[in-house]
């Protein structure tokens, strides 16, 4: 059973290496979430590469995101 929900979809979110660990990523992500809320979104959907474990740790441990699906790819 599916229920229609409005998502705020965040893709390709990055902060340059020289600017990491300064709170910039947190502020940018919070701004994107705030924008979604203001436009009626109930959930935020965030995409990042699983190989980027630093980003995964940030999103999950600091920002409260949890994995919800896996997309598998292969080179053709």
String of DSSP letters for 5-72: --EEEE-S----GGGTTSSHHHHHHHHHHHHHHHTT-SEEEE---TT-HHHHHIIIIIT---------
- Contact by Cβ (8 Å): 62, 20: no
**For the segment 7-20, what is each residue's pLDDT rounded down to a tens digit?**
899 987 888 999 98
**For the whole model, what pTM was predicted?**
0.81
Output the pLDDT for position 1: 56
Which residues neighbour 70 within 8 Å (Cβ) at sequence distance 6 or greater? none
pLDDT digits (tens, 9 = 90+) for 17-64: 999 899 999 999 999 999 999 999 999 999 988 898 999 999 999 999
């Amino acid at each position: 059973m599916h229920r229609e929900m409005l998502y705020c979809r965040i893709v390709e979110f990055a902060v340059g290496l020289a600017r990491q660990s300064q709170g910039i990523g947190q502020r940018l992500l919070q701004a994107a979430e705030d924008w979604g809320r203001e436009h009626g979104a109930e959930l935020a959907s965030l995409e990042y590469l699983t190989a980027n474990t630093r980003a995964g740790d940030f999103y999950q441990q600091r920002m409260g995101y949890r994995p919800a699906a896996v997309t598998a790819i292969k080179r053709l």
